Amino acid sequence: MAISKRYIVTSKREYSYSCSLPGVWRAVAHNEGAVVIYHSPKACGHIARQMEVGGYYYALARQAVGPTQYTAPLITSNLREEHSIFGGTDQLRQCVDSVVERYKPEYIMLANSCVAGVIGDDTPAVAREAERDWGIPVLTIPCSGFLDGEYHGGFYYTAKALADRFMEPQPTCAAQISLLGDCGGPAGAYAKEIAALLQPFDLQVHCRFPGYASLAELRRVPASSLCLPLGGSPHAYSYMRRLAADLQEKFGIPFLDRDYPVGWQGTKTWLKELGEAVGQAGKAVLAEAAQAERLHQQAAPARAALQTMKVVLCIGRPLLPFELDWIFELLDLAGVKPAGVVLFSSLTGEQSEALRQALNKHTVSPVVEEQAGGAMIQAAGLLVTTHELEDETKRQLFLPMLPPLGVGGLITLLRKLARLAKRSRQQGGVIYGW
């Protein structure tokens, strides 16, 4: 039996390929006094703005929009065809002059596009000249769009440029910590969950670096007693860990070498290591107990709703960054043992075999390929899936691309599983896990 799915794109490459420009923008988009200039065609700025609008409506739908934030002006130098022949440095300098006169920024971040990189424009030279003439910091980063960078690289190099330019060693404040990275902003679910985990400790979050920080707050980061690098995925975390290591080398700030806590076991480990890092092991025990009680109270209704439900797990994502541990932890909390696992045909033979080996550590349920999984899916009362099936009569929990953060992330998914279980079989439908 054929299984009809929404369109699937599968990646066979190990590393990420994306544009560095949106990463530069996100790094300082809400830093008061900043202005971002893309040395690029006009369309590059439009793409970044559309990403920002999409992020706003994503947050709005989840009631995660906080107080109005400063939004840095995003300007393009408006490279055109003639600049690919004659160069665009004069065009960029005119753009910088116009920005300074109009916006009166505290500092400017210049970012090269692919076009500027191919032309070979000397953007750092333009930045030095403009800084000398106008007397304000004009920073550049060593990335050129898709040419030699990617999103997280743009984010990292922007943060490094800010640290190198504005930070100096300071006496340490024992209660002050700084968060490195951004996932949803200060009003998002990730920020709220981190705040809940930190609440029992005698700690004060100074700021989220590099985003959502004024110039004065940036300068106070070296006074932190600890940095918490927060990536959200192995690839993103590698860059935030690199930033944390830079700050440690430059200012002696230690960092917790662990990403966002994923699942219950991940939360316990994260709290324990944080307690040890800040010398508050007793507070870590209290924090774990509070989170355990919170999770127990929310898991009980889900277990009651799912106790007779036949659940099938459907997977079409390869391991790394896809993780199985938290998925089976979620199912266990819900009192569910999957009736089977279906591996979608979007996986290569090598990816499918790697998943089978990993699944053997978690379940004794049968694991079948998509071609043989039609009957299993039809018999299921509920599907936990990485890809949306077009059969609208099936109740489906569409798993998020990024693993859920801490106990709060698990609770959100448990509630969604319970909602699906209470729907009639005829109603069906998809609930998205993010």
Give the H/E segment covering residue 176.
strand 173-180
What does the pLDDT average to over 390-414? 89
Of all residues in the chain, the percent with pLDDT exceeding 90 is: 70
pLDDT exceeds 80 at position 147: yes
pLDDT for position 20: 92
Under CATH, what is the fold of the domain 298-432? Rossmann fold (3.40.50)
Give the three-class secondary structure for 109: strand
What does the pLDDT average to over 312-337? 91
Of all residues in the chain, the percent with pLDDT exceeding 70 is: 94
pLDDT for position 36: 96
What does the pLDDT average to over 208-223? 92
Choose between 148 and 316: higher pLDDT. 316
pLDDT for position 85: 84
DSSP state of 179: E
pLDDT exceeds 90 at position 427: no
pLDDT digits (tens, 9 = 90+) for 241-280: 999 999 999 999 999 999 889 889 999 999 999 999 999 9
Dihedral angle over CA of 51, 55, 56, 57, nearest 10: 100
**Half-sphere exposure (Cβ direction) of 315: Cα atoms closer than 13 Å:** 27
pLDDT for position 1: 41
> DSSP labels for 383-408?
EEESS-BS-TTSEEEE--SSPPBHHH
Choose between 289 and 49: higher pLDDT. 289
pLDDT for position 202: 92
Pair type for strands 107-112 and 34-39? parallel
Structure tokens at 221: 């980061």
Under CATH, what is the fold of the domain 176-260? Rossmann fold (3.40.50)
Residues 6+ apart with CB under 8 A from 390: 4, 5, 6
Same fold, 18-166 and 176-260: yes
Q: What is the rounded average pLDDT for all residues in the chain?
A: 89
End-to-end CA distance of the chain: 30
What does the pLDDT average to over 329-334? 94
β-pair partners for 367: 341
173-177, 181-185, 392-396: the lowest-pLDDT one: 181-185
Residue with tokens 């530069």: 24
pLDDT exceeds 60 at position 300: yes
Gyration radius (Cα) of the chain, Å: 24
- 140 to 4, 277, 300: CA distances (angstroms): 48, 34, 53
Q: How far apart are CA 315 and CA 40, in angstroms?
A: 40
pLDDT exceeds 60 at position 10: no
pLDDT exceeds 60 at position 239: yes
The pTM of this model reads 0.86
pLDDT exceeds 60 at position 384: yes
Q: Domain residues of the chain, as ranges? A: 18-166, 176-260, 298-432
52-56, 158-162, 229-233, 383-387: the lowest-pLDDT one: 52-56
What does the pLDDT average to over 421-429? 83
pLDDT digits (tens, 9 = 90+) for 66-97: 667 788 999 999 999 988 888 899 999 999 99
DSSP state of 200: T
pLDDT exceeds 80 at position 312: yes
97 phi/psi in degrees, rounded to 5:
-60, -45
Mark residue 330 as left, alpha or beta (left: phi above 0; alpha: psi -120 to 50; beta: remaining). Answer: alpha
Q: How far apart are CA 103 and CA 323, in angstroms?
A: 45
Q: Do the Cβ atoms of 423 and 429 come closer than 8 Å?
A: yes
β-pair partners for 249: none
What does the pLDDT average to over 126-131? 97
Under CATH, what is the fold of the domain 18-166? Rossmann fold (3.40.50)
